Structure 1
Amino acid sequence: MNFRSIIATTLLLVAGFQTALAAPVIVPRAPDLNASSWILIDATTGRVLTENNADQRLPPASLTKMMTAYIVSKEVHEGRISENDLVPISVNAWRMGGSKMFVREGTSVQLLELLKGLMIVSGNDATVALAEYVAGSEEAFADVMNQQALLIGMENTNFKNSTGWPAENHYTTAADLSKLAQRLIHDHPEHYRIYSERRFSYTPPGESAISQPNRNLLLGRDPSVDGMKTGHTEAAGYCLVSSALRDGTRLIAVVMGTSSPNARATESANLLQWGFRYFETQTVLAAGQTLESAKVWKSTIDQVELTIPDDMTLTLNRGSFDDLAISAQVNDQLEAPLSAGDVVGFVEVQLNGEVVGHANIVVASDVPEAGFFKRLWDSIVLFFSGLFS
């Protein structure tokens, strides 16, 4: 297939970048944390900004509940259960130790309330009640959790229960948890917002309200932090998955195995601060944005608009977007019929000679085929133009 170049300058102007060379951006070494394992990623692009022992299998404690919440949100989104469902509280749920929402055996609690109890105060009782409601038993729910983990690329994870209660062969990694956090934010934003609530109150039937604070200390220290989950057991230490949004860039930090609630918050804050200081995320080209109009042969129309199917969003060192070079190539002979989304070329984004972004170029709309005589005439024209080109 022969390609021709699209005018790169046009794309640069559309993207809003300059071609003038700028001084290289110097990024210092990432902070060294007092933790067993950590990772920092951009939530939109998934780019790993720094990591340490991120693939080490560790007990996740209550970070496990992120998967329970993800599955419950998924079930609600797909219409199999409702936020307004009344969930029965079993003896198993009521007897759970550790952090609790303080539901009562034999009662029924609205599903959304249980989800809040899981997300905000890490209630083991609420978590087990939800697991039993979705899958019939906590053991069956753990099987669902492991299947879902594989579907989203958590290859170093194995769950034995819904809560993170210490159990043999119950483990995950910082890298896997960052993937789960990414999916929680993107797939179910309506429920992700619950993680930012700093206090939760629940009133058991016939009793006074029980009010508990969110254990994520970053929510009170950094206004850009809006989630997400703490965890602690003796084996796991103090863990925190946190996410923050500043100037359109969202980062996710996972810190595992620190020494105290304050330490997990401080170390996570250090990681986020470094990330926001030296990196940013921007959309270079937008899905549906017209790159150019191309000539089409053997069709009832003469031109078709070309675009890319998905946003091209990059995470780069701050200041690097001014140095991007964007080039594109398109098949020099487009012939009908074509369907919207058919690939007809590609676009590349380079930074200092290195390709940092790549996308297919597609036709933006269907291109119908012309009648017999128009197709014949265009075939003749193309034949002779090929002879003399």
Structure 2
Amino acid sequence: MRVLWWSKIVAAAAFVAALVLVAVPVPALAQLGQVETTGSQMILEDYDTGAVIFAKNPDEKMHPSSMSKLMTVYVVFKMLSEGKIHMDDAFPVSEKAWRMQGSKMFVHVGDRVKVSDLLRGVIVQSGNDACIVLAEGIAGSEEAFAEILNAEAKRLGLTNSTFRNASGWPDPEHLMTARDLATLARHMIHDFPQYYELFSEKEFTYGIDVTTKKPITQGNRNPLLYKDIGVDGLKTGHTEEAGYGLVASMKRGDRRLILVINGLHSMNERSREPQRLLELAFGQFDNVRLFTKGATVDEADVWLGSAPRVPLIVDRNVVMTVPRLGKGDVKAIVTYDNPIPAPIAKGTPVATLKVVSKDATLEEIPLTAGADVQQLGFTGRISAAISYLLWGAGKK
């Protein structure tokens, strides 16, 4: 086992200015920080590294209310990207959709509404009626569409989510976790950048008020969109049972954070508490670029090989989220069976890079052999074994 202290990691990071960040990573192994929050469930993640910065009951199943509309939007985006439906396609409005209660786009029974308008009706106006029109237009019924939602959720790895409708209308079996919502938000941003900008639209006008005869304009319910702090999505939610919730994504410079919070007590609290948590995360944590794909992290001794040592290569870009005030506590530990017996094939996993902070494992990364090392012949093996026992590595 070898320990690479923070000073060595920083030196290694100096030459990786062209590093391309990994967009949809495996989440980090440890929660980085602690914070109190008035929310019942919460998770705050770094988009590029997957690090969980803050969390509170992130795997507790909860009623997601309209935040689960993100799953409906994801499925629609996927079908658009695959050419199965188009923005100009128009779906009919059923009586069920027209009669749907809660937040509404105000579609009228018998009308045909374009997919482009329905998407804004869901994303900007949080229209339950728009969700039903999309569900029936795509799958024939909301029940059949829920089956699609569940299948897609399984594919995305949302292991604690169950969908019973397209809108998030209260149902005892319609459940998600904060972690699953964060995963879904990350996929939304990464998988559909061509459509993601819809989440930053602040208002949408559709239909005519039957009383005033004026167009109906509704503002986006995401309060952080109006604060000019870098938030560009995603979705609010509210029911009496679940409280007030928000899925938010905030970008500053090259960094993006994703926050999911639920169980807040008022719209005012939903405006203040998410902003406080995001500001804390940006202020207290940094992303540090450690190694580029293909970089040599260390070298390992070889037992009875044609070369005395083999380079240990990282097979992907490595970026870590670390506390600004705790960088000195971060260290990288390289572990492997020393010496590594020959023969060794280039690209074979032979070691592990473990990044730890205060005994908490932030990430474990496999290291592969950077070269082929052949096994020595019988005479060579005898000579090398004697040399190694007498003088250690570097002799054959």
TM-score by length of 1: 0.77
- Please tell me the residue identity of whatever aligns with 2:139: A
103 and 175 in structure 1: CA distance in 2 versus 1, 3 angstrom threshold: same
Which among 178, 194, 200 is matched to residue 196 of structure 1? Answer: 200
CA distance, structure 2, for counterparts of residue 296 and residue 109 of structure 1: 68
Summarize deviations over 1:83-133 as a string: whole Å, max 9, x none. Answer: 435031231333333222334444444433322321122122222222223
For 2:332, the aligned partner's letter is I
* Partner SS for 1:159: coil
Counterparts in 2 of 1:266 and 1:7: CA distance versus 1, 3 Å: closer
CA contact (8 A) 1:255 1:267 kept: no
8 Å Cα contact 1:312-1:357 kept in structure 2:
no
Report SS of the residue matched to 1:319: helix
Change (3 A) 1:199 1:290: farther
The percentage of counterpart residues that share the same residue type is 35
Letter aligned with residue 199 of structure 1 = E
Partner of 1:180: 184
Separation (CA, whole Å) in 1 of partners of 2:348 and 2:322: 30
The 3 A distance-change label for structure 1 pair 59 and 323 is: closer
CA distance in 2: counterparts of 1:290 and 1:208, whole angstroms:
66
Report what 1:131 is aligned to: 135
The residue number in structure 2 matching 1:86 is 89
Q: Does 1:320 align with 2:318?
A: no
The 8 Å contact of residues 70 and 184 in structure 1, kept in 2 or not, is answered as yes
Letter in 1 for 2:226: G
Query: 1:120 corresponds to which residue?
Result: 124
1:40-87 Cα shifts (integer Å, max 9, x gaps): 33333443333334444332221110111122223334x152443503
The runs of 5 or more residues in structure 2 that have no matched partner are 16-31, 389-396
Count of residue pairs brought into register by the alignment: 364
CA distance in 1, matches of 2:167, 2:69: 5
Question: 1:87·1:130 contact (CA, 8 Å) conserved in 2?
Answer: no
The one-letter amino acid of 2:185's match is A
Q: What CA distance in whole angstroms lies between the structure 1 residues aligned with 2:152 and 2:284? A: 34
Q: Distance in 1 between matches of 2:268 and 2:295?
A: 46
RMSD of Structure 2 on Structure 1 (CA): 3.9
Structure 1 pair 383–151 and aligned structure 2 pair: CA distance change class (3 A): farther
Among candidates 252, 263, 266, match of residue 258 of structure 2: 252
User: Does structure 2 retain, via aligned residues, the 8 Å contact 1:31–1:270?
Assistant: no
179 and 354 in structure 1: CA distance in 2 versus 1, 3 angstrom threshold:
closer
Provide the TM-score with structure 2 as the length reference.
0.76
Cα distance in 2 for partners of 1:93, 1:80 equals 25
Q: Are the equivalent residues in 1 in contact too, given 2:13–2:288 (CA < 8 A)?
A: no
1:97 alignment counterpart: 101
Q: Counterpart of 2:270? A: 264
* Letter of the 1:319 counterpart: L
Partner-residue secondary structure (3-state), 2:118: helix
TM-aligned CA distance change 1:265 to 1:305, over 3 Å: same
Work out the CA distance in 2 between the residues paired with 1:111 and 1:304. 57
The correspondence for 1:14, drawn from 7, 12, 15, is 12
Question: CA contact under 8 A between 2:44 and 2:54: conserved in structure 1?
Answer: yes
**Contact 1:89/1:103 (<8 A) preserved:** no
Q: Deviations over 1:139-181 (max 9, x none)?
A: 0111222233344443433221000122342222333322322
Give the deviation of 1:258 after TM superposition.
2.6
Matched, 1:385 2:388: no
Closer, same or farther in 2 for the Cα pair 1:12/1:71, shift >3 Å?
Answer: same
Stretches of structure 1 that go unaligned for 5 or more consecutive residues are 18-26, 370-374
- The equivalent position to 2:37 in structure 1, one of 32, 36, 39, is 32
Q: Distance in 1 between matches of 2:147 and 2:324?
A: 43
User: 2:80–2:87: 8 Å Cα contact kept in structure 1?
Assistant: no
